[in-house]
Structure 1
Amino acid sequence: MNRSSSPHPHPHPHPHRHPQPQPPGLPSLKGVVFASVVGSVLVLAAAVLFALLPGSLSEAADFRAARPCSEVAAAEKGDCLAEWPATVVSTETGRSNKAVTNWVTLDGGAAEPPFRVRMQGDGPVWEKLAPGDRVTVLSWRDVVWAVEAGELRQDTTARPGRESTVQLAVGLTLLVVGTVFLRGAGWLHRRRATRATDTPTAQVVVVMAATLLASGVAATAATVTDTVWLVLLIAAAGCATVWTATALLLRGLARRRTA
């Protein structure tokens, strides 16, 4: 029996198939992963700050409730607002993380060896101080929180309550920006799935501006009031307003492009 002949008795293997090149403008997988990682890290950092917040808020509340030592019993003097005289030894200016820092060295006399405190800003007290000036030191729980010169008073950077304000402001800012990165990662993933390649520059600019505005509202709310629920209410209302306006603006820009 004769075998049927074939014009190709030894079929050639299929050539190696290269993956199709990614269309220009299509979001890359690296971009999706990067946005997801950055967003997750920022949200996690915000969660850590919020977890540390109750301790700082408790200290700030204790400080606001403290009374002058002259008005409390001797047993309570460790947790009252103390005042005592000191003499200016020197003033100096330094730098910390590219920011100007103002320091003053004070001598509390025999009961207190010379010590150095960092002032908040340069006025109204620090800029007027000179070696030999007499000042009044204000302290609470062995922390110098302000210096008085005559009728003028200036806080130090160690004033209780400042740490909680910074933690809340930074935490809210990280939360807003981190959420935007996570939403951006989802947006990029959807564009990859639909193979959409058109990314209007105006859309990116609007989202960036909205992010800055929303984080600015949240941080400002933390600095203008000590009431946490009011800070959260202002931040939530501000973010909702900003993102609603952003969605309406982006929708209007999309209709204008398709018209």
Structure 2
Amino acid sequence: MAVLSLAWILRRTVATVFTLLAGVALMALAAFLVATVAPDGVRDLRAYEAAPRCPAAPSGPAECRWTQEFTVSGVRLTKKRSESNRAFLTGPDGARWETFYSSNGPVLDGLGEGDRVTGTVWRGLLTEISAGGTSQETHDAPADMRARVLILALIVVPSGLLMTVATVWRLCRRRAAAEPTPGMRATLGLGFSLFFAGLFSPLLLGGRGENVWLVAAVWLPIAAVMAIMARAYATRKPDAQKPDAQMPAA
């Protein structure tokens, strides 16, 4: 975020309070999810991996895994991040299944209407399809929610903490100084920068973006560089700083 925009946020009381609340909300959300989701976040995944093969086709949702052939009746691929790739599958009994995928490969992009795939059904959900010796999970496949929650905490806790510190610092010194200090701006800017760096770190890993340690290994060097840049801005000599442009009042 531009320095001028950060300075404007710190000058305006309403914007400062709103940013403070956003920072507190981010930390509270992360704490809630870590406390409630992380402890049992791998339970479904482990149950799925340990589930035996069903001896016969289950009549309803079952803890065992059942595989059967499906016929592809339609494929919808999209490049929009707000939408998921879809495939429509028809089972031997004529039932039509709509399945969703986070990516178009390695199976989905090679399918066409009339093709046959092998689907895995667990707890009444179609969790995986395979064809030609390759498999791909659907959105209904159980995931490592513990890893996802910890990655989320890595993204939002440092940024939320810095946003909170910068805005509380500004509110406490508002009467003493009309302008926010370089340290306030640097702290708030670092908070926003770390948030966006955290969002992009898993994307840089492709299919390994749900590994906490790999995400941390990517995020930490970026965070270190950003922290050095923020410190350099906060400690540079006043005569090297350009006067701030005036922002419109909120």
- Settle same-fold status: TM greater than 0.5: yes
* Distance apart, 1:32 and its partner CA: 3.6
1:174 to 156, 161, 164: 156
User: Is 1:143 the counterpart of 2:129 in the alignment?
Assistant: no
2:173 to 166, 184, 191: 191
> Does the CA contact (< 8 Å) of 2:120 and 2:128 recur in 1?
yes
The aligned residue for residue 56 of structure 1 is 41
Q: Structure 1 pair 198/171, CA: closer, same or farther in 2 (3 Å)? A: closer
- Deviation string 1:53-91 (CA, Å, 9 cap, x unpaired) is 333322223234x155179xx9xx943443221212222
Q: Choose 1 or 2 for highest CA Rg.
A: 1
User: Is 1:29 the counterpart of 2:5 in the alignment?
Assistant: no
1:40 to 17, 20, 24: 24
Per mean C-alpha deviation after superposition, the further-off stretch among 32-41 and 196-205 is 196-205
Alpha-carbon distance between aligned partners in 2 of 1:141 and 1:235, rounded to the nearest angstrom: 36
CA RMSD of aligned residues (A): 4.2
**Which amino acid counterpart does residue 46 of structure 1 have in structure 2?**
A
**Which amino acid counterpart does residue 121 of structure 1 have in structure 2?**
S
* Distance apart, 1:215 and its partner CA: 5.9
- Deviation string 1:150-176 (CA, Å, 9 cap, x unpaired) is 222222122211655444433432323
The aligned residue for residue 223 of structure 1 is 209
> Does the CA contact (< 8 Å) of 2:120 and 2:129 recur in 1?
yes
Indicate the percent of aligned positions where both proteins have the same amino acid.
Answer: 20
Per mean C-alpha deviation after superposition, the further-off stretch among 101-110 and 247-256 is 247-256
> Does the CA contact (< 8 Å) of 1:147 and 1:154 recur in 2?
yes
**Which amino acid counterpart does residue 57 of structure 1 have in structure 2?**
V
User: Given the two structures, how large is their TM-score scaled by the length of structure 2?
Assistant: 0.68
Unaligned runs of 5+ residues in structure 2 are 1-7, 242-250
- Deviation string 1:22-68 (CA, Å, 9 cap, x unpaired) is xx99834334422222222222222332223333322223234x155
Alpha-carbon distance between aligned partners in 2 of 1:123 and 1:233, rounded to the nearest angstrom: 26
Q: Structure 1 pair 232/40, CA: closer, same or farther in 2 (3 Å)? A: same
* Distance apart, 1:129 and its partner CA: 1.5
Alpha-carbon distance between aligned partners in 1 of 2:227 and 2:78, rounded to the nearest angstrom: 45
Partner SS, residue 76 of structure 2:
strand
**Which amino acid counterpart does residue 174 of structure 2 have in structure 1?**
R
Q: Structure 1 pair 203/26, CA: closer, same or farther in 2 (3 Å)? A: closer
> 1:28-107 counterparts in 2 under 5 A?
28-50=12-34, 51-64=36-49, 66-69=50-53, 78-93=62-77, 99-107=82-90
- Deviation string 1:87-137 (CA, Å, 9 cap, x unpaired) is 1222234798x6342222212213x72211112311222222222211100
> Does the CA contact (< 8 Å) of 2:186 and 2:234 recur in 1?
no
User: Given the two structures, how large is their TM-score scaled by the length of structure 1?
Assistant: 0.66
